[in-house]
Amino acid sequence: MNIMTKIFSLVCTKKSIYYIKRACGICLVMYLASCQNHPDQARSWSVYKADAASSSYSPLTQINKENVTKLKVAWTFHPGDGVENSWHGPECNPIIIDDVMYATSARHRVYAIEASTGKQIWSFDPFDGGPGGGANRAVTYWQDGQDKRILFTAGNHLFALDAKTGKPIPSFGEQGKVDLNIGMRDDPNSIRIVPTSPGIVYKDLLILGTEVSELYGAQPGYERAYNIRTGKLEWTFHTIPHPGETGYDTWPADAWKYVGGANDWGGMSLDEKRGIVYLATGSPTYDSYGADRHGKNLFGNSIVALDANTGKLIWYYQTIHHDLWDFDLPAPPNLVTITHDGQKIDAVAQVSKVGFVYVLNRETGEPIFPIEERKVPASDVPGEQAWPTQPFPTKPAPFSRQWMTEDDLANYSPGAHDSLVQQFKSFRYEGLFTPPSVGGTISLPSTTGGSEWGGAAVDPTSGVLYVKGNESPEIITLQKIEPEAHKAGQSDYMEGKGLYDVYCASCHGGDRKGIDPYPSLIGLKDRLSKEAVLKQIREGGGKMPSFATILKGHEKAFIDFLFELKGKGGRQSGFIKEIQQNEIAQKKSGNGTTDTGARYLNVTAYRQFVDAQHRPAIKPPWGTLNAIDLNTGEYLWKVPVGNIAELQKPGDPPTGAGSSAGPIVTAGGLVFFGGTRENVLRAYDKDSGKLIWETRLPGRGSATPCTYWSHGKQYLAISVEGSKEDPGGSIIAFALGE
């Protein structure tokens, strides 16, 4: 143990600090100064993704390149609240405050855990025994003296809990919770707002984004700030501008009354000194056809800087104009200081599904490296007006493939290759930003390509950004949907099949056998009750969103199809009824639209371009870990991450694999990453990309890891997906062996 580690291990008590100051005060001050904005090491991961800058960086060095191979499991926490046959895992990136870990489970319960032992302190069930569920990536902490609160969302409510006891704060909202439906555009009794990523604290405000539907009639993604003491809504920023607001002229005149989306669902970052909060927004709805939203559509797909006190716009940069590909900005911007052309610049670095990194001046939004507007293909779908140009950063180069040819198609066998070539030639494909089409369009990197919600990690001492890249082309196929009378004599079973084909087959397969990581639905009636299936469809969970609006009025149709009950009956098509219900909700709020134009749905949404055996259509790597020097825009290294062993050819490097979670980086010289399907947690040398250590987990690492200091030790923790034996999953913490 070196002298700095010894000193650091003593810092945990007031008495030891006194003797350390006397013995080596200068050394201690220098060490603590190197800890960025976290002088209290017990709070070295006190915010989602480590800190307000969303750095996913830790200044801790006890675990380092020299000893990482000695990591052992220190403790495992099992929430024990899982539902049998549940397939999704917790997406929580835990936070640690004063030796206590706060985390959420896959069923959206909140737990306080001793950070050094994994022993439960308290738990809170926001659903009062109900099924719960749905993605939730972290909780948020706020403190004023002895008033310490945990803030989190569950369903359509924002909760405030006493951090010590887990009890709701009675003075916050109505007995500890606030209804997030209130204050949105339409009737709060007819909508459902369900955030998936945590808010961020600025003074006494919790600034919160939201997750909304991606279909016609969705709510707009308003950014809102709530008073942490009272629950009062303090300010709202309209991501779809109202008349007189900046960006209003980038939409049709009444679009703010009926278009939804443009929401910050992946979280946000905060420059505490400047009082600026940075959003990363998603696409407007409907996200594959925009005839009812001609224009650039601000603030969809934009990096937005707001005054954290007031919500007033400071600057914006739009990364996709008039999005037709669901190219959301999926993760919070990284705040970092870089040296460019000899000058220190406070910057924003935003990763994307497209595979670009947008590097902007934090104060002005001006690009650090030139970004060019280039012509892109036009749409051939009636009524659509694809924007003629899109922004292309000149640096850094994209971290995921944006172009493919026949030479990139996989060659598992001559027959399989010929089939892929035939498919490839049958689709429309003119490179990045080829618009969706009725005949089918290839999208690369795709909605699950590039970076996902785990985002990037950045080392503030070097300005190097570490990002996981996914490479998985998808097929977009538009189908015209028009209101029509129900078909006489159509059975509930056949109606359910039609709904399944539109909304479910792209994930669970047309044959219901599942497409990894989505489970098979064959034999569902033997595993779950009808009530459990309906709750799962209604409330969602993990990667599955809520389909409550689609399910409403069609419960029997879904059950008859999924349980193979071929009874008689009939109703109007589900997607038409959903649109009508959304329009009714809008009219209740005085926001009804007179739009009678045709609508199109992407009936192959999220369907990967694969061969008949569901193998990736393109050659590997299918997932990479990248190190990018933001000072220069150049790559330091790129390595495949993850491996699909059955598809790896002898002598070839790992295939790489897709994943949603992100990496973290430490001052110990390490990049940690889990999340690929082979259930492995890995450590890489941050300077070279060399794999140093790996360990097998009992399930998929379903979230970005965290690392923290507690009682003289550095720990590494990660949320892990459940299994048949342990459906609730777990949190596993590692520490150095004795």
Q: 3-state DSSP call for residue 198?
A: coil
Q: For the domain that residue 581 is a member of, what is the CATH number?
A: 1.10.760.10
pLDDT of residue 458: 98
Report the alpha-carbon distance of residue 724 to residue 300 in Å, rounded: 40
Whether residue 183 lies inside any domain: the answer is yes
Which residue range(s) make up the domain with 589?
Answer: 478-602
pLDDT of residue 27: 38
The tokens for 522 are 């064959």
Residues 697 and 598 in one domain: no
Report the alpha-carbon distance of residue 694 to residue 672 in Å, rounded: 9
Whether residue 576 lies inside any domain: the answer is yes
Residues of the chain with pLDDT under 70: 1-43, 84-88, 482-491, 502-503, 506, 516-517, 539-553, 566-596
Which of 602, 629, 645 terminates a domain? The answer is: 602
Confirm whether pTM is higher than 0.95: no
pLDDT of residue 611: 92
Residues 457 and 587 in one domain: no
Which of 602, 621, 642 terminates a domain? The answer is: 602
Whether residue 55 lies inside any domain: the answer is no
pLDDT of residue 629: 98
**What is the SS3 string spanning 673-706?**
ECCCCCCEEEEEECCCCCEEEEEECCCCECCCCE
Among positive and negative, which fits the CA dihedral 56, 36, 195, 93?
positive
pLDDT of residue 86: 58
Report the alpha-carbon distance of residue 197 to residue 140 in Å, rounded: 10
Residues 401 and 463 in one domain: yes
Residues 10 and 126 in one domain: no
Peptide bond preceding 545: is omega within 30 degrees of 0, i.e. cis? no
Residues 242 and 352 in one domain: yes
Please, is 728 exposed, middle or buried when counting C-beta atoms within 10 Å of its C-beta (0-12, 13-18, 19+)? buried
Report the alpha-carbon distance of residue 239 to residue 224 in Å, rounded: 10
Query: Distances in Å between the alpha carbon of 18 and those of 13, 21, 25, 169, 281?
Result: 9, 5, 9, 37, 48
Whether residue 44 lies inside any domain: the answer is no
Q: 633's torsion region: left (phi>0), alpha (psi -120 to 50) or beta?
A: left
Structurally, the chain folds into a number of domains equal to 3
Residues 453 and 542 in one domain: no
Cβ atoms of 473 and 404 closer than 8 Å:
yes
Among 658, 632, 633, residue whose Cα is nearest residue 644 = 658
Residues 506 and 574 in one domain: yes
Cβ atoms of 158 and 145 closer than 8 Å:
no
Query: Distances in Å between the alpha carbon of 255 and those of 499, 593, 595?
Result: 28, 9, 10
Residues 421 and 519 in one domain: no
Whether residue 533 lies inside any domain: the answer is yes
Taking every pair of Cα atoms in the chain, the longest distance, rounded to a whole number of angstroms, is: 88
Whether residue 46 lies inside any domain: the answer is no
Residues 524 and 636 in one domain: no
Question: pLDDT digit string (tens) for 250-291?
Answer: 999 999 999 999 999 999 999 999 999 999 999 999 999 999
Residue with tokens 């078909």: 487
Q: For the domain that residue 326 is a member of, what is the CATH number?
A: 2.140.10.10
Residues 111 and 215 in one domain: yes
Residues 440 and 518 in one domain: no
Residues 188 and 280 in one domain: yes
